[in-house]
Chain A
Amino acid sequence: MKGIPQQAEVKANTKVKVSNLANTRKRSDYFWAYLMIAPTMLGLMIFYLWPILQTFYYSFTEWGAFGQYEWTGLDNYKRMFEDSNLIKSFKNTGIYIIFTVPIGIFLSILVAVLLNQKIKGKSVYRTLYFLPVITMPAAIAMVWKWLYNSDYGLLNYLLSLIGIKGPQWVSDPKIALYSLIAVAIWSGIGYNMVIFLSGLQGIPRTYYEAAEMDGAGPIRVFFKITLPLLSPVIFFVSIMSLIGAFQVFDLIFMMIGKSSTALENTQSIVYLFYQHAFVLNDKGYAAAIAVLLLIVILIITAIQFVLQKKWVHYD
């Protein structure tokens, strides 16, 4: 008879012990978790999250010559509407995006589809197309400026062979932006091609075999099978390309001279941001440009997410 309460006692004890154990385990979990995320979270807060708030704050201020600033309310934002340079930079960036994103995606899908066939030398092609991806934009800009050189450049020489007098690729205000666009497309194909290629390889062979049995030609197969099944990847790439294109800076900075007549027709939103922030010491206005850029990118990304329902197929 005495044994039973003892047993119960033991049970109760183990229960306490187990829950104690669970508690210590939990406490140790929390300890390690916070310790492990601490460096990254602190770093992100100091160098990234807090700066977001600060940029918002700065966008309502005006800066003096010695780094002092004062609150000026919405002045910077009002100023934007009258700033023809800013309006122009939006137009330039818009043209840049409209050309680089769709053409870049089209060409990289084309290359990826061709590389996904049964052909020899795949890895050689892949390597060559990928070269610009690993190359420093400053060096890319430099070599293209040389190829584009109107007097001694290779491009105009090749054109002269077929009797065309080549233009001034980077100094003619009407052409310069399109010359930059060509370089941007050239340097981006390899990156997107690799993503599309891995997307294509994820499409099960059986789909193609079934289509072949039905006697569908390659064009039909591409539009009825490849494109719909690749659409989630196309959506991802288009979002990333668009965000990247919005932030174009390096190419313009390196290829278009600071006093070039083509600058007005090529400078992007980020170029203008850089000018105001670090050359003209007009940091309040620069912050307002950065905020505007953030808002525009968020809106356009949101629109893409809404539109995707119409064309992206998820199984």
Chain B
Amino acid sequence: MERARQLVTSKTFLIHFILILGSVAMVVPFLWMILTSLKTYAESIHVPPVIFPDKFQWGNYKEIFELLPFFKFMLNTLIITIVRTVGQVFLCSLAAYAFARIEFPGRNFLFLLALAVLMVPGQVFLLPQYMIMVKLGWLNTLQAVIVPGLFSAFGTFLLRQFFMGLPKELEEAARLDGCNHFQIYWKIMLPLAKPGLVALGIFTTLWSWNELMWPMIVNSSPESMTLSVGLSSLQGQYLTNYPILMAGSFLAILPMLVLFIILQKQFIEGIAVTGGK
């Protein structure tokens, strides 16, 4: 009995040991980012490194806003993220409902078309998408990033799975009451598919907030730049001033960090849901 208990404790100890080791590797870069962002330039390049700054240099954060239209970047990213997320979840859920719950001619063919998009790596779309933006005169506008992001084969596919799993009786009853399909979708199906909507919403939010290549291609003027692109431009200009670079990086990730802490369960379930199926 005693031996068994010892075995269990040493096993638990080993598990915690490995997990803590990994956690340190995960967290240290973030701590180092925050600590560096509060140092003077001299402290940041001191050898051996200064771990805690003598005095917190909050001025670094102020400087970011003076060096770059950082506030504008945040606003742009926020607008893009919100419109894309709300729009995509709405449009995808509409299409997904129809694909899952209504029989209509050409359904399988149209759904296959949407699936084809899913098989193709993003770079294949980029050039023609860029040419479309040039033709529309949308370069350096927020809609250049927003509009293509409103449509998603992945989102349609994901939500269709959700709608297919709901019982048929629900809508039969609603139809007898004289509801049309939009009413059934809006009043009955949407509330039931909430986990799927949340999962897609989180994905789209993360993706829109963090994306680099497409916003960089279409929006290179500071007026319409996103945070990712702004950070990459900062790197070119202030190559070695790491306290400033770290302050900018931390500000850029802070909103997602806060959102993650608030909606932790939904983030993790959202990923498990999309990955497990």
The residues of A with any CB-CB pair to B shorter than 8 Å are: 28-30, 32-37, 39-41, 43-52, 54-55, 58, 67, 110-111, 114-115, 117, 119, 121, 123, 125-140, 142-144, 146-147, 149, 151-152, 154, 157, 186, 189-191, 194-195, 197-199, 202, 233, 236-237, 240, 243, 246-247, 249-250, 253-254, 270, 273-274, 277-278, 283, 286-287, 289-291, 293-294, 297-298
Chain B positions 8-22 with a Cβ under 8 Å from a chain A Cβ: 12, 15-16, 18-19, 22
Q: Is the CB of B267 within 8 A of A130?
A: yes
Contacts of A142 in B (CB 8 A): 231, 235, 245-246, 248-249
B98 near A37: Cβ-Cβ < 8 Å? yes
Task: Given the known inter-chain contacts A40-B95, A136-B209, A142-B235, please indicate yes or no for A152 contacting B124, CB distance below 8 A.
Answer: no
The answer to whether B132 and A143 have CB atoms under 8 Å apart is: no
Number of interface residues of B (CB under 8 A): 96
Taking the complex as formed, is B103 at the interface, i.e. its CB lies under 8 A from any CB of chain A? yes
Total inter-chain residue pairs, C-beta < 8 Å: 280
Select the residue from A33, A138, A270 with max chain B CB neighbours within 10 A. Answer: A138
Contact digits for B23-65, partner A, Cβ 8 Å, 1 yes 0 no:
1011111101100100000001111110000000000000000
How far, in angstroms, from A274 to B127 measured CA to CA in the complex? 10
Task: Contacts A36-B97, A127-B264, A128-B23 given; indicate if A157 touches B47 (C-beta within 8 A).
Answer: yes
Residue contact B32 to A143, C-beta cutoff 8 Å: yes
The reply to whether B271 and A134 form a contact with Cβ atoms under 8 Å apart is no
* A residues in contact with B98, CB < 8 Å: 32-34, 36-37
B260 CB → nearest A CB, Å: 5
* Partner of B127 from A39, A46, A50, A286 at Cβ < 8 Å: A286
Q: Which chain B positions have C-beta within 8 A of A45? A: 113
Dominant secondary structure of chain A at its interface with chain B:
helix
Q: A47-B125, A51-B128, A249-B213 are in contact. Are A152 and B44 (CB under 8 A)?
A: yes
The reply to whether A273 and B132 form a contact with Cβ atoms under 8 Å apart is: no
For the residues of B in contact with A, the DSSP-based class is helix
Residues of A within 8 A of B252 (CB): 136, 138-139
Cα-based distance from A34 to B219 in the complex (angstroms):
34
Residue of A nearest to B251 (CB): A139
State which residues 223-277 of B face A: CB under 8 Å: 227-228, 231-232, 235, 242, 245-246, 248-250, 252-253, 256-257, 259-260, 264, 267-268, 271-273, 275-276
Contact A30 B126 (CB under 8 A): no
Contact, CB under 8 Å: B122 / A47: no
Q: Residue of A at shortest CB range from B133?
A: A47
The contact of A139 among B97, B125, B249, by CB within 8 Å, is B249
Tell me the smallest distance from the CB of A123 to a CB of chain B, in Å: 8
Which residues on B sit within 8 Å (CB–CB) of A138? 210, 212, 227-228, 231-232, 249, 252
A contact residues around B30 at 8 Å (CB): 131, 135, 143
A49-B113 CB under 8 A given contacts A30-B105, A134-B256, A152-B44: yes
Please determine whether B210 and A40 come into contact, CB atoms closer than 8 angstroms: no
B181 within 8 A of A: yes
- Please indicate the chain B residues that have their CB under 8 angstroms from the CB of A157 in the complex: 47-49
Most central of B95, B124, B276 by chain A CB within 10 Å: B124
Known: A47-B151, A130-B268, A249-B213. 18 other contacts (CB 8 A): A28-B180, A33-B107, A37-B110, A40-B151, A44-B113, A110-B18, A115-B19, A127-B264, A129-B26, A134-B260, A140-B29, A146-B245, A186-B29, A190-B26, A195-B271, A233-B276, A237-B275, A290-B126
